[in-house]
Structure 1
Amino acid sequence: MDAPSVSLNKFVAGTGICSRREADRWIEAGRLAINGTIAVKGNRVVAGDVVTLDGKEIGHRPAPIYLAFHKPAGVTSTTDQKDPDNIIDFINYPQRIFPIGRLDKASTGLILLTNDGDIVNQILRAENDHEKEYIVTVDKPITDSFLRRMSGGLPVLGQRTKQCTVEQLNVRIFRIVLTQGLNRQIRRMCEFLGYRVRTLKRIRIMNIELTGLPVGHYRPLTESEMEQLNARLEGMEPEQ
């Protein structure tokens, strides 16, 4: 009987150093090896295999870290430290972490960071199901037609956006709750209707809220937040 195996990207993500998507990029770049042989996509790992990144053996999983961060405008949600505005250098956390998903450089608000590659994969796979809430200011008065069309779905990036909740808060300010994660989705939706976004702030991801967290600061997720988050992700089937 063959020894139990796991896909290489899942193994790497399981050590907590990156997400599976990032592991796939490392495989494509030739940075990962199994027992001294450069890995290729589709490789699997069995007990006793030695996996290395840039020649250094990947260690055991560290204690999990889960942070909520209030991102300022101008910070890029990337781990690429060649980018002078990258989120990792800005936070300067003492242990290796990475963002879950993205938030545009010009946008502000809640973004989650972790060293747990498994939860990153779960949340990103659930991206078309979990709620993300934003407060948006546009460049001209909001109309009933704008609210109706935004909530009903618009053509973006070759597909139609899902129906969503949109509520006017002021003459030029609205609240929107999305269950999608298309690239620059809100900005593209507004542009389709002839509006330009002036400010965009994410205030909630699933059950985790930005409330009370100052700009540029981070905090660990509470035990209650983690319990609720895990409960929401529990029904998802893990990849093999």
Structure 2
Amino acid sequence: MRKQIDDNRMVRINKYLAMCGVASRRSADELVAAGRIMVNGKIAVEAGLKIDPSTDEIIVDGRMLALPEQKKVYILFNKPKNVITTNSDEKNRDTVLDHISVKERVYPVGRLDRKTTGVLLLTNDGNLANKLMHPSSNVKKEYIALLDNRFPHTLLLQLTGGMRLRDTGEKVMPCQAKILDDGLQVWLSIHEGKNHQVRRMFETLGFEVRRLDRVAYAGLKAGDLRRGDWRYLSRREVQQLNQQAGIRI
């Protein structure tokens, strides 16, 4: 069952921004008016908007926020199919937070589309999240794609060499790939995170991705974690993530 909103947790967006040290309440209203605040993926348009700091995702000028006094939490989630990678959904669909029970407000680092399964990192460490998602971090993401037809070795170079996507003409960076088993499955390792990138790469070459599973993110793997389950990261895993992001701790 989806959790009911607790009115006692709701605060005005300008108060929340002031609590995070972003701006005074008056300046926060100006940020909203300028369209620089996003709440759960949508631009905030009302200065008096109330948000729930424990669940809502707040982004200012492209940077996610977390209350400074919160304990930092790092979670690895094995996302099932048809789970939305947002903190809330206006259509009342199943979201990642419906599967994770922690008192801290956490949010996904990057996104997996509704149909894609696999490894997803969630945290309230906004600094780490922003650095991991920045292109300069070159975070490796590994996928296994199940295709509608066998993938030939003759197309591997085209897949990995830095192709142009057919739908937009946008160029993607070179990547790594390996054909598995009978050729219907392909392992792919990329360093970018363009919208639906893996699916669009295969579509450019004339293949439909029937199932897509992210098997690793920044070196994190699901391991024995069953689909729909989650766990806290170990201290060593957190240290490795910070190293990848270029953060000294």
TM-score category (smaller protein): 0.7 to 0.9
Gaps of 5+ in 1: 1-10, 17-31, 44-51
* d(CA) in 2 for partners of 1:217, 1:169: 27
Deviation for aligned residue 1:72: 0.2
**Aligned-pair Cα RMSD in Å:** 3.1
From 25, 30, 41, give the equivalent of 1:35: 25
**Per the alignment, do residues 141 and 220 of structure 1 end up closer, same or farther by CA in structure 2, a change over 3 Å counting?**
same
Distance change in 2, residues 1:72/1:87 (3 Å): same
1:119 and 2:128 aligned: yes
Q: Distance between the aligned counterparts of 1:216 and 1:39, measured in 2? A: 40
Q: Any residues of structure 2 matched to 1:145-224 within 5 Å, and which?
A: 145-156=154-165, 157-170=168-181, 171-224=183-236
Please list, as runs of the form range in 1=range in 2, the aligned pairs for 1:77-116 lying within 5 A after superposition. 77-83=85-91, 84-116=93-125
Q: Percent identity?
A: 30
Task: Give the whole-Å Cα distance in 2 for the aligned partners of 1:75 and 1:55.
Answer: 22
Could you tell me how far apart the structure 1 residues matched to 2:157 and 2:99 are? Answer: 39
- Superposed CA deviations along residues 44-97 of structure 1, whole A, max 9, x for unmatched, are xxxxxxxx9749999642100000000000001012232422222233433321
Report how many residues are paired: 203
TM score, norm. by length of structure 1: 0.74
55 and 92 in structure 1: CA distance in 2 versus 1, 3 angstrom threshold: closer
Alpha-carbon distance in structure 2 between the residues aligned to 1:153 and 1:113? 29
Q: What amino acid is aligned across from residue 34 of structure 1 in structure 2?
A: S
- In structure 2, stretches of 5+ residues that fail to align are 1-15, 37-47, 54-65
- Alpha-carbon separation, structure 2, partners of 1:86 and 1:55: 17
* Structure 2 Cα separation of the partners of residues 54 and 39 of structure 1: 16
List structure 1 runs of 4+ shifted beyond 6 angstroms: 55-58
Distance in 2 (CA, whole Å) between partners of 1:140 and 1:121 is 37
